[in-house]
Amino acid sequence: MFFAAVARGSPVRAATVADSAFDPWIEVSAANLRHNVDEVARRVAPRPILAVIKNNGYGLGVANVARLLEPLNAISGFAVVKLAEALAVREAGIGKPVLLMGPFDETDLAQAVARDITPMVYTTIGEMLERVAQRRGQRIPLHVCVDTGIGRVGVPHLRAAALIRDLAARRWVQLEGVMMTFAEDPAFDREQLRHFQSLCRTLEGEGIRLGKRHAASSFGLFQHPDGFLDMVRPGMALYGMYSEPEFRGAGILDLRPAVSLKARVIYVKLLRAGESAGYNRAYVAKQDVWVATLPVGHADGLPRVAAKGGRVRIGGALYP
C-alpha cells in the first residue's frame, strides 16, 4: 500500500479501476497461439481444426481469440457453448463456421440460424428444426452429438441411429457432422471409439451422409491417431496447456504458453534472516533477502497452490 501526503485544500479525486496502473492483467501471445495451432496441425494433418473457444474463450474474450485464430488456414471454424458467445463471434466479423454446442430453444435456434450458427443436436427436435427452417426458407445444417460413454449430453449410442435416420430423412435438415467426446481414460476411450465407428459404418452403409466425424479434444491429440477421425476440436492445447502432466516433454506436441498473468511490482523490502512473509509464515528467510510485493492474488485467478513452489518472472529471471 502506498501513502502520500496531500496538502490541505488540494483537490482529491477518487481513483477508479480504470485509473489504476497497478491492476493485474492478462496478456495473450498471438505468436504462441499460432505456434500451437501449427503444432496441432502438424500432428493431425491433413485434418482441419475446430477451435473450441467456449466459456468466453477460456476467459480471454471469445471475440478476441476468434480474431487471432480465424486467419490461420488450419482453423476451419469455432465451437462455443453459449448462444451469446456465438453471436459475439459473428458481431466481431468472424466468417468461419461456428458450432453451438450448448442448449437452445426455438427462439434461440431462429437467432442462431439467422447468423449462420450451426446447432449441435442430440434430442428429437426434428419438427422444431423444420419449422424454423421453413420460416427461413433454408435448410439447417447441424452436428449430432452421440454419447458413447462419457455420460454427459448426447444421444446414447444405442439410440443414436434412430435419431440420425430421422434427421437425415427430413428435407429441411442437413447433416454436417457427427461427434462424440472421449472420457479420457485410454482403455475406455478405445471402447467408445469402437461404438462410434460401428454406428457410423452402419449409417453410411445405408447411404446416409454424416459429414465430418470428430471426437478428439486436447487430451485426444496425445492418443492414437485413429481417434482423430475427420477433424479435431482442441481447446486448451491451443493456449499451450497440457491436459496431463506426463504429456509435457513426451515429444508429441511442443506447446508454448499463450497466456500470461502479469502485474507490476509495487513494493520491495529487505527481509532479515528469520523474518517471514505471507500467511502462515509461508516463506521464512534463511538469510537476508530482498522480497517484492505484487498486487495480484486469488481473486485475480492466481491459484493458492502457487504459494507452494510457484515462480514469478521479473526482468527475465525467475523468483519463488
Question: How buried is 285 (Cβ within 10 angstroms: 0-12 exposed, 13-18 middle, 19+ buried)?
Answer: middle
C-alpha cell at 45: 494433418
| Percentage of the chain exceeding pLDDT 70 | 94
pLDDT at 235 over 80: yes
For 97-124, how does the pLDDT look when each residue is reduced to its tens digit (9 = 90+)? 999 999 999 999 999 999 999 999 999 9
| pLDDT at residue 310, rounded to an integer | 85
pLDDT category, 19, cuts 50, 70, 90?
A: low
CB atoms within 10 A of CB 241: 17
The DSSP element (H or E) to which 63 belongs, if any, is helix 62-69
For 247-284, how does the pLDDT look when each residue is reduced to its tens digit (9 = 90+)? 999 999 999 999 999 999 999 999 999 999 888 888 89
pLDDT at 65 over 60: yes
CB atoms within 10 A of CB 206: 11
How would you classify residue 309: left for phi > 0, otherwise alpha for psi between -120 and 50, otherwise beta? left
| Percentage of the chain exceeding pLDDT 90 | 84
For 199-228, how does the pLDDT look when each residue is reduced to its tens digit (9 = 90+)? 999 999 999 999 999 999 999 999 999 999
Residues designated as active site: 54, 279
For the chain, the average pLDDT equals: 92
Q: Which domains does the chain have, with CATH numbers?
A: 25-259 (3.20.20.10), 263-319 (2.40.37.10)
| pLDDT at residue 308, rounded to an integer | 76
| pLDDT at residue 236, rounded to an integer | 96
| pLDDT at residue 6, rounded to an integer | 27
pLDDT at 10 over 90: no
| pLDDT at residue 18, rounded to an integer | 53
| pLDDT at residue 4, rounded to an integer | 25
- Average pLDDT of the residues in 124-145: 98
Q: What is this structure's pTM?
A: 0.88
pLDDT at 314 over 60: yes
**Higher pLDDT, residue 212 or 12:** 212
What are the start-end ranges of the E strands in the chain? 25-28, 49-52, 75-80, 98-100, 117-121, 140-147, 155-156, 173-179, 212-214, 259-262, 267-271, 276-277, 283-284, 289-293, 312-314, 317-319
